[in-house]
Structure 1
Amino acid sequence: MTVKIAGYTIPKGSRVFINVWARGRDKDVWTEPEKFMPGRFLGSAIDFKGVDFELLPFGAGRRICPGMALAIRMVHVMLASMLNQFKWSLPVELEWDGIDMEDQFGLTLVKAVPLCAMATLIRGKEKEPF
């Protein structure tokens, strides 16, 4: 069935792709959308599980990421383990020049220049399991 949404006619059988990258940087929805501010979600009713279209890190509907449940439970544990076991630093050239935050747009958004970080095992933790 052909439908009309926000003044646009969508013919029957069409595929519609939502630009999640642009949606996440919409100045009408977010204050300073280009700035990294994780605290903006504290006390917010916005859910990341595909219900609120302001934030769709895992997609929505039938095409939602099948790994979302695992990510919700495990990413913070893995990150905490890595932060606890290793001392993290940048290569000398990155410390001088800074990190290039440019991105490369494609099917997924990636950094134009991949981030390089060096991990050094913290002394005394060699015998402890991860």
Structure 2
Amino acid sequence: MIWIGICLLGVIALLPALLSLRRATLLRDERESALALHQAQLAELERDLNEGMIAASEHDSARLEIQRRLLGADSLPAPEMRKGASTGAIIACLTGLPVAAVALYLSVGHPGLPAQPAGPAPCGHPEGRPSQ
């Protein structure tokens, strides 16, 4: 019966970590962030031109500068990251850790022994109460 409680507590303790793995987090590297920023700047520049906030000559020079930055950002090397490998390793550790703990307890621990005090009883009395 205690094993059900141990398993339930283990699942509850590991649940936040397992749920965070299911969540699709979008991690951008430096290159992707720069490309998204420059694309947004180009869209904002076009909007400003359509609203008449900037002149056509200013629009052309600003667009040329953003395009130069966009080409510079596109030449950055893309990092080589494999999400699947790290996720698999994390899942293996999260499931392997409780299994290893139970295996260690069953091999070294003594689940059948009754509870014993940590040290001798005070005052020499076997129950720990002073004699009267």
Higher strand proportion (structure 1 or 2): 1
**TM-score, scaled relative to structure 2:** 0.21
User: Which has the bigger relative contact order, CA under 8 A and spacing at least 6?
Assistant: 2
Instruction: Name the larger-Rg structure.
Output: 2
For normalisation by structure 1, the TM-score amounts to: 0.21
